[in-house]
Amino acid sequence: MSPRSDLDTQLRDLLDERLEAVAPPGGNMGSAVARGRVLRRRRRLLTGGAGAAALVAVAAVGAALMTGSGGGPRPDTAVEPLGQMDFSHGLQAYGDPGYTLHIGGRTVDASGLEWLDTDAVATEQGVVYYARGDLLLVQEDGTTKTLDKGARTPGRFRPTAKADASEPLVAYALEQDDAVVLKVIDTARDKVVASRVLDCGSCRGLVIDGIDSGAVFVRDADGTSIWRYGDSDELVPFAGSKTRVADVRSGTVLYDGPAPDTAESSSWHLVRGAIDAQLTYDGKYVLYWSSTLEPTDPSGSPVVLEQPPGKRSGFWSIDTDGTVLVAAPDKNGFTIYDCEVPAGACEELGPLDPKGGDPMFIGNDM
């Protein structure tokens, strides 16, 4: 067994052992997304290893957050065991790779979790990730549950998973009964609402690029196809192999490469952009390495966030409630803000002085 799959097994076993022992505090604090992984930016100060370890780190999130294990926090960092969180204003999840993770109003130990920005999925219900062939969810109450069980073949098959911006739906794929099954699950109801077997052999190159408006975007070596899961099991061609879907929200498709020219692509609002850019949840603006969000409608006006002022550098990500999380540099490291769109007003969440590399956002390696 490889070190990666062995770590996966250990972490899942630790989760199973500790879940019943962790009691969330009383009261209700809460009321209520590259050119593939290869070309996405990887600046790590403490880790020079391959990004293949990303999913191992993601699988560790439940165990590390709940137990505080993994080498211990820095002496100057106050961390907590994972208990009740508050997702009513989005997950507000950001971190210092390998040290701490801030999520739902808590600061927890993130030792060994340098790659949470890759392949984990932030949703309104919590963090969705693969572990040992299964699909799991870290919930607002601090517990982790299995959403769907796979063939438990760690390290062999780990496609991406994507969340819908307007509904509590996640598109994912698992190995089940000697086949690869593409599915859509309602995470609010814990119910699989659509599934189909994929005829792609091992499907090792399968990537799920998005889910929106009743359609799942699936990519393989031949290009990108769309599965309209409410209508049929058919996979309809959307774009060729040289085109990459960066994001899809509210009927808008952000793409890199040649413009899609299939019959299916004509029913979407196509916007050219960089592979590591993001769309706001309404599909009206493009977030790309700037606090100025460009409109997807040529007649529209940009949105300018209050932070950071001017054209300063920083880090950005769309949160689960549609706001923009901003890591703005300051003399002590960074200050994290939660910014409204399109108003641009920003609320300060707190300081971040990362020791593990660039600031980290769950599911976004921007």
pLDDT at 155: 59
**C-beta atoms surrounding 148 within 10 Å:** 19
Residue 366, in any domain of the structure: no
Residue 86, in any domain of the structure: yes
Residue 198, in any domain of the structure: yes
pLDDT at 116: 66
pLDDT at 356: 82
Q: List the 269-272 sheet strands across, edge first.
A: 244-249, 252-256, 269-272
Please tell me whether residue 179 adopts helix, strand or coil conformation: strand
Under 8 Å between Cβ of 224 and 209: yes
Q: Domain residues for 52?
A: 3-361
pLDDT at 204: 77
Q: How many domains does the chain have?
A: 1
Please tell me whether residue 192 adopts helix, strand or coil conformation: strand
Residue 210, in any domain of the structure: yes
Cis upstream peptide for 329 (omega within 30°): no
CATH number for the domain that contains residue 211: 2.130.10
φ/ψ (deg, to 5) at 254: -95, 125
Please tell me whether residue 66 adopts helix, strand or coil conformation: helix
What are the mean pLDDT values of the chain's consecutive 10-residue runs (366 residues total)? 39 39 35 32 33 36 43 41 88 91 89 66 92 89 92 70 96 91 97 94 85 97 96 95 98 98 97 97 97 98 94 93 96 95 97 90 77
Residue 261, in any domain of the structure: yes
Residue 37, in any domain of the structure: yes
pLDDT at 81: 57
**C-beta atoms surrounding 31 within 10 Å:** 8
Give me the half-sphere count of Cα atoms (radius 13 Å) on the Cβ side of residue 322: 17
Cα–Cα–Cα angle for 314, 366, 124, nearest 5°? Answer: 105
